[in-house]
Amino acid sequence: MRETRRGLWGVIALTAGVIVALPVADQGAEPVRKIGFLGMDSGMQAVRVQAFRDRLAALGYVEGKNIAIEYRWAEGKFDRLPQLAAELVADKVSVIVTAAPPAVRPAKQATTTIPIVMVIHNPVGQGIVASLARPGGNITGIAFQDAELSTKRLAYLRDAVPSLVHVALLWNAQGGGPETVEAVESAAKSLGLQTSAYEVHNAAEISTAIKAAKASGAQALVELASPFFTLNRKALIAELTANSMPATCELREYVVDGCLMTYSADLNAMFGQMATFVVRILKGAKPGDLPIEQPREFQFVINKKTADALGLRIPKSIEIQLTEPLL
């Protein structure tokens, strides 16, 4: 029998007169660690996943080499998330990565021992962690304050629509909830604006709410961040377009699809931040000892075609603040 290189082949087994050379792992190789990714929509989060993988690779953790990523996608069916979280726990992943309340809560309920790295708004107010400085337990990650971002969006919307006196607020309980509504109402009052708030429970109510807002005299709309609206953003934007309603939305993707504008935390950058947390945990850090971070990068973008269709001229004072040219 031809001699093989030492270390590549191990025990020789004899079975039914056949000699079989069994490979054994290189004792010096780094073990492959499993990362669980609990996602709500594979299409929407594909770019985020790539940003996460790119950052992992930059830090020396590459799929197929020293890590494996187990993906579980709800594909918009949020009621599947508890089952998918349980599957990752059963698969004995080393860490679970996820974003937004509908996914973070099932992950938290599924395990108290496997580290969880999240992106979420107001995790203290939602009871996800004890504090930002010392979250405790098995959870850490990145937190943004949606109320602050929404009030910033409102201010920019007021500047873009000079005649604005009445603004509608569109919200869903999967997002910031009543506390965000109250914060934006307070900010609107300080700007001398009247508000009307509309809670939406299902996709059919999007049209009803926007038509009601238009009928009430609202001249523009603030969409308050929610995974529900992200999932239904094309229906939302179609209704805004049909009612000639200027709006500020939560993410750049909405503006690409036709919403007038957004000021938002850069989710791609935040998923890159999550990769940094994952690497620290894989190297032995305890998630409860890692302070929750704030977003580092923000996006302010406007859709020029939408502005033109609405008859709006974007002031130079706004245009010079954009993080990229008018779309």
pLDDT in tens, 50-86: 999 999 999 999 999 999 999 999 998 999 999 999 9
First to last CA, the chain: 67
Asked if 94 contacts 113 with a C-beta cutoff of 8 angstroms, the reply is no
**pLDDT band for position 6 (cuts 50, 70, 90):** very low
Distance CA 25, CA 10 (A): 9
- Which H/E stretch holds residue 36? strand 33-39
Could you report the per-residue pLDDT of 151-184, keeping only the tens digit for each? 999 999 999 998 999 999 999 998 878 889 999 9
* Torsion, CA 321, CA 224, CA 275, CA 39, rounded to 10: -140
Which three-class secondary structure state does DSSP give residue 65?
coil
What is the CB neighbour count within 10 angstroms for residue 6? Answer: 6
Q: Which domains does the chain have, with CATH numbers?
A: 33-144+266-296 (3.40.50.2300), 146-265+299-319 (3.40.50.2300)
Q: What is the pLDDT of residue 2?
A: 40
* Torsion, CA 264, CA 265, CA 269, CA 272, rounded to 10: -130
Q: What is the pLDDT of residue 84?
A: 98
**pLDDT band for position 16 (cuts 50, 70, 90):** very low
Does 322 score more than 90 pLDDT? yes
Q: What is the pLDDT of residue 28?
A: 55
Q: What is the pLDDT of residue 29?
A: 63
Query: Pairing relation of β-strands 220-223 and 9-15?
Result: unpaired
Asked if 297 contacts 265 with a C-beta cutoff of 8 angstroms, the reply is yes
The dihedral of CA 99, 136, 182, 269: what is its sign?
negative
Could you report the per-residue pLDDT of 103-137, keeping only the tens digit for each? 999 999 999 999 999 999 889 988 999 999 999 99
Could you report the per-residue pLDDT of 175-212, keeping only the tens digit for each? 878 889 999 999 999 999 999 999 999 999 999 999 99
Distance CA 278, CA 311 (A): 47
Q: What is the pLDDT of residue 201?
A: 95
Can you give the pTM of this predicted structure?
0.85
Q: What is the pLDDT of residue 8?
A: 37
Query: Pairing relation of β-strands 194-199 and 166-171?
Result: parallel
Average pLDDT over the chain reads 90
The secondary structure of residue 269, as a DSSP letter, is H
Q: What contacts 275, CB < 8 A, 6 or more positions away? A: 52, 53, 55, 56, 59, 61
Could you report the per-residue pLDDT of 261-282, keeping only the tens digit for each? 999 999 999 999 999 999 999 9
Q: What is the pLDDT of residue 43?
A: 84
Q: CA–CA distance from 152 to each of 42, 145, 191, 250 (Å)? A: 29, 11, 12, 11
Q: What is the pLDDT of residue 125?
A: 86
Q: b/e string for 43-72 if b means 16 or more Cβ within 10 A?
A: ebbeebbebbbebbeebebeeeeebebeeb
Interval 136-147 mean pLDDT = 93
Give which of 12, 9, 5 is closest to 25, Cα–Cα.
9
DSSP-assigned letters across all residues of 166-212: EEEEEE-TTTT-HHHHHHHHHHHHHTT-EEEEEE--STHHHHHHHHH
What is the CB neighbour count within 10 angstroms for residue 39? Answer: 22
